[in-house]
Chain A
Amino acid sequence: MKYADYQRQDAAENVKNAYADAQRLQKALNAVVTFVDVEAQLEHLRDVDENAPLYGIPIVLKDNVSTKGIRTTASSRILDNYVPVYDATIVKKLREAGAICIAKASMDELGMGGTNLNAYTGKVNNPYDLERISGGSSGGSAVLVAAGVVPMAIGTDTGDSVRKPAAYCGVVGVKPTYGRISRYGIIPYASSLDHVGYFNTNVNDAAKTLEVLAGRDDLDMTSSSAHIPAFSEQLNSDLHGKRIAVLGNVQDAIQDTRIKEQFTAMIKKLESRGAIVETVYLKKELMEALLPTYYIISNAEAVANHSNLDGIRFGIREAGDNLEEIMIHSRTKGFSSAVRKRFVIGSYSLFVENQEKLLKKAHRVRRVIVDAYRELFASHDAVLAVAAPTTAPYPNESVDEQLSASYLIAENHMLLGNFSGFPSMSVPSGLIDGLPIAINVSAKAFDEQTMFNVAKAIEEESGMVGNCVEVKA
């Protein structure tokens, strides 16, 4: 369903129906960590203008968004009892816009994963096939939009953690420009790569959502004061004269011929709409360096960011005879194996003797990659690629938990959006064997309008506007 469908109905009824749906589907999807009481929020809604952009819209927040008085675990055992004493800036913005949060959604622990298999509450199930993964790390959020429970859910995207689950679940997933949305109150993963993003069922709603969430926030010194256009009013799917680059490296690396052919067919449709399409390449060695560069930077930032999770001032505290033992026991039991292993890798690259060959090298490679990527936009308005090279895999098929050498390019190209900070989104483009596939659309920094416009054209061609799937609970 779309925002407009909800806004034709009674707000309290919408919210209560969404809450009931989320509870009914919990056993099948396992997408919720904490259900949120809606009564007090509905009470507050009386003070909100009925014309507010998200008036009475039920939404879901990823469980790394701090919510005052509501448990926020980031799907980690160490935060299983943590109740923030303040709201994230986006929580305030959403409340002022009239949105009602019905649940906190499951995620890969602390955002560190791409499968949602590594959540303290267990695997999140893909609504198209419950045996398959949702993708992650914002898996719970993606699934609840895909199943038609809510028309919008907040996620975060450090590697492709909104755009990949969006592709696997057949919904629109947006990662705007770095700094466009305040991160104050978001439990971080890697600060130079983290973005707040979100899911909707259609591009028009996605444009509206960004209008609500965007804006400078002095509490997040990386947030931008760039002008916020009226994205939804200016939405225009006319592609005449638009210069679109197709990232040839990704197309060449995809093994599933049906996904390739479907993408090529969509590109032809965009050409027939007047787009000027050209296949472009980044140097192969730059594309192959994306994943190792990401691993070094993100793990180094993560281990530093999470040094405060020690069970002393907040979180689950384990017993110990002294302070050091308490911290070691709390962190050993509090973090999963996967997270502790990533922290070791991060710590290794932060050692003074390793910094030059690892962290500083990765930072320099990041610049070389971003400079080459930016160059593509000197002559193109948007860059397109297949969002994910496969449909949602089964748990034993996903390679996320290994530093796999395979699929370096096809599985990881969306990191370009995090390295550069440029806006990037997934838009559903069709189904293969009844499972969704998607196209990734990226644009210049702060030019989300062009990204939305191209995505809108794709949506019109695919006919997947408002796409949801019925889950048999």
Chain B
Amino acid sequence: MEQFDDAYFRKLANQIMFDLSEEEIRELKEEFTTLLEQLDLLNRIDTEGVEEMIYPFETPTHYLRKDVSDHVISKEEALRNVASVKEGHVAVPKVVK
């Protein structure tokens, strides 16, 4: 079993692009303990040979539509919620130094 120390949780959070406070890490440790106990409840169930169930129904409801543009939004609409726009582009700090 992994070692759930502070650094481990901080790394997990940073991988999905946010930070955790020390208090949040402490709470998360407690929740992981409960989670792992609850996982034992899953392991009591025999799933040998059982296929994974991803969606409730397996009747296909999707199809490949024709390759024509549809439901297009304008450039203005696409940029309407952007915090920083310069010359019609989403502006962020320089990526390549």
Nearest residue (CB) in A for B21 is: A337
Kindly identify which residue among A289, A327, A404 contacts B45, using a CB–CB cutoff of 8 Å.
Answer: A289
Residues of B within 8 A of A403 (CB): 31, 34-35, 38
A192 touches B54 (CB 8 A): yes
Residues of A within 8 A of B90 (CB): 312-313
Q: Is A323 positioned at the interface, with any CB of B under 8 Å from its CB?
A: yes
A335 touches B82 (CB 8 A): no
Closest chain-B Cβ to A338's Cβ sits at a distance in Å of 9
Nearest residue (CB) in B for A322 is: B93
Among B41-87, those with CB < 8 Å from A are: 41-47, 50-57, 61-63, 65, 71, 73, 77-78, 80-84
Residues of B within 8 A of A362 (CB): 42
- In the bound complex, what is the Cα–Cα distance between A368 and B45 (angstroms)? 8
Nearest residue (CB) in A for B74 is: A85
Chain B 15-30 near chain A by CB (<8 Å), digits 1 or 0 = 1111111001001100
Closest chain-A Cβ to B66's Cβ sits at a distance in Å of 11
Of A222-230, A249-257, A385-393, the segment with at least 4 beta carbons within 8 Å of chain B is A222-230
Q: Is A165 positioned at the interface, with any CB of B under 8 Å from its CB?
A: no
Q: Is A241 positioned at the interface, with any CB of B under 8 Å from its CB?
A: no
**Contact A179:B50 (CB < 8 A) given known A85-B77, A402-B34:** no
B73 touches A363 (CB 8 A): no
Kindly identify which residue among B15, B35, B56, B92 contacts A295, using a CB–CB cutoff of 8 Å.
Answer: B35
**Contact A341:B24 (CB < 8 A) given known A370-B53, A403-B35:** yes
- In the bound complex, what is the Cα–Cα distance between A335 and B13 (angstroms)? 12
A224 touches B61 (CB 8 A): yes
Closest chain-B Cβ to A54's Cβ sits at a distance in Å of 25
**Contact A292:B39 (CB < 8 A) given known A286-B45, A344-B12, A402-B31:** yes
Residues of B within 8 A of A341 (CB): 20, 24, 27-28, 31
**Contact A405:B37 (CB < 8 A) given known A310-B17, A317-B83, A421-B56:** yes
Q: Is A444 positioned at the interface, with any CB of B under 8 Å from its CB?
A: no
- In the bound complex, what is the Cα–Cα distance between A83 and B83 (angstroms)? 12
Residues of B within 8 A of A104 (CB): none
Chain A, interface size: which category? Answer: 35 or more
Residues of A within 8 A of B37 (CB): 405
Residues of B within 8 A of A404 (CB): 34
Closest chain-B Cβ to A169's Cβ sits at a distance in Å of 27
B12 touches A348 (CB 8 A): yes
Closest chain-B Cβ to A390's Cβ sits at a distance in Å of 21
Closest chain-B Cβ to A275's Cβ sits at a distance in Å of 27
Closest chain-B Cβ to A244's Cβ sits at a distance in Å of 23
Closest chain-B Cβ to A11's Cβ sits at a distance in Å of 31
Q: Is A345 positioned at the interface, with any CB of B under 8 Å from its CB?
A: yes
- In the bound complex, what is the Cα–Cα distance between A312 and B63 (angstroms)? 32
Residues of A within 8 A of B65 (CB): 218
**Contact A221:B61 (CB < 8 A) given known A295-B35, A326-B93, A363-B54:** yes
Residues of A within 8 A of B17 (CB): 310, 324, 327-328, 331
Residues of A within 8 A of B47 (CB): 361, 364-365, 367-368
- In the bound complex, what is the Cα–Cα distance between A337 and B55 (angstroms)? 29
B50 touches A368 (CB 8 A): yes
- In the bound complex, what is the Cα–Cα distance between A129 and B82 (angstroms)? 41
**Contact A365:B71 (CB < 8 A) given known A341-B27, A402-B31:** no
Closest chain-A Cβ to B4's Cβ sits at a distance in Å of 10
**Contact A367:B71 (CB < 8 A) given known A313-B82, A404-B34:** no
A344 touches B53 (CB 8 A): no
Nearest residue (CB) in A for B34 is: A403
B12 touches A347 (CB 8 A): yes
Q: Is A288 positioned at the interface, with any CB of B under 8 Å from its CB?
A: yes
Nearest residue (CB) in A for B53 is: A367
- In the bound complex, what is the Cα–Cα distance between A420 and B58 (angstroms)? 11
A323 touches B92 (CB 8 A): yes
A370 touches B56 (CB 8 A): yes
A340 touches B24 (CB 8 A): yes
Q: Is A52 positioned at the interface, with any CB of B under 8 Å from its CB?
A: no
B44 touches A285 (CB 8 A): yes
- In the bound complex, what is the Cα–Cα distance between A77 and B74 (angstroms)? 26
- In the bound complex, what is the Cα–Cα distance between A367 and B50 (angstroms)? 8
B92 touches A289 (CB 8 A): no
Chain A 288-302 near chain B by CB (<8 Å), digits 1 or 0 = 110111011000000
- What are some 23 contacts across the A-B interface (CB < 8 A)? A85-B80, A178-B56, A178-B57, A286-B45, A311-B83, A312-B90, A312-B92, A313-B81, A314-B81, A316-B83, A321-B93, A323-B93, A326-B93, A331-B16, A357-B39, A358-B39, A360-B52, A366-B52, A367-B51, A367-B53, A368-B45, A404-B34, A408-B41
Given A81-B81, A285-B41, 8 more A-B residue pairs with CB atoms under 8 Å apart are: A85-B80, A295-B35, A303-B16, A320-B93, A323-B95, A357-B39, A367-B52, A370-B56
Question: What residues make up the interface of A, taking CB atoms closer than 8 Å to B?
Answer: 81-83, 85-86, 178-179, 192, 216, 218-219, 221-225, 285-286, 288-289, 291-293, 295-296, 303, 307, 310-317, 320-324, 326-328, 331-332, 335, 337, 340-341, 343-345, 347-348, 357-358, 360-368, 370, 402-405, 408, 419-422, 445
**List of 6 A-B pairs having minimum Cβ-Cβ separation, nearest first:** A421-B56, A314-B81, A363-B52, A367-B53, A364-B47, A317-B83
